A = this chain, B = another copy of it.
Amino acid sequence: MKLATIVAFDNFTDIDVFLAWDLLNRVKINNKDFEVKIVGTKDKHKSVCGIEIETHGKIKECNNADLVFFASGPETRKLYKDLDYLNQFNLNPEKQIICSMCSGALILGALGILNGITATTYPTAFEELKALGIEVIKDYHIVTHKNIGTAAGCLAAVDLLGWAIEKVYDKNISQDMIKYVLPVGTKITENLGFLNPPHRQATKR
């Protein structure tokens, strides 16, 4: 089995958790060895817009996952300074695909995952990520280094997860995941980058 965990918390950004949840569940349709769990510190977490969901497990499950995806939300500003929270993670970017949306990068930064590489985050979190000693790329919506990816702007999750699933499986399965959510009449124009912004992927340092 391959396991993907979506890390949620109180006041998570709705679309960050639910877009990842929807996309990753599409991978399951043709890949019965794939499992997706929303994990957190509680049995239930409520989104910033007020949707309460049951989690499928605790954050420690990330330590055994093939793919770990950190959502964003105002709570990240507390969590990345919370040692009790951080100490529950024992992630290994040599063996796991690890990625974050927007301010979720602060948690990756605090965990040391981004040490020595570049990253992106939502503009409102640029300074905090920099303060962790991370070189922030401000005009890319997705920045990847080997197994580590960061993305900025909710809809960039499509490209981030496209990249991640290509790493976990292959390009065909990644594109299968994305093609069903694309507006009718649009195409995946190149490798990933369905949104086709000026810079879609960077590997610096």
Question: Which A residues are within 8 Å of any B CB, using their own CB?
Answer: 13-15, 18-19, 21-23, 25, 49, 51-54, 120, 122-123, 138-142, 151-156, 158-159, 180-186, 195-199
Contacts and interface: CB of A to CB of B under 8 A. Distances in A.
Contacts of A14: 18, 21-22, 25
Contacts of A181: 15, 153-155
A155 B158 contact: yes
A176 to B, nearest CB: 14
A186 B180 contact: no
B185 A199 contact: yes
Mostly, the A contact residues are: loop
A186 B19 CA distance: 19
3 closest residue pairs by CB, A with B: A141-B183, A18-B18, A156-B183
Contact of A141 (B153, B154, B184): B184
A175 to B, nearest CB: 15
Contacts of A198: 185
Contact of A153 (B19, B49, B156, B186): B186
Contact of A21 (B49, B142, B185): B49
Nearest to A195: B183
Contact of A183 (B22, B51, B152, B186): B152
Given A13-B22, A153-B185, 19 more contacts: A18-B18, A18-B19, A21-B51, A22-B49, A22-B154, A25-B49, A120-B184, A139-B185, A140-B184, A140-B185, A152-B184, A153-B180, A153-B183, A154-B181, A154-B182, A155-B155, A186-B195, A186-B197, A195-B195
A105 to B, nearest CB: 12
A196 B51 CA distance: 31
B151 A183 contact: yes
A197 B152 CA distance: 22
A141 to B, nearest CB: 3
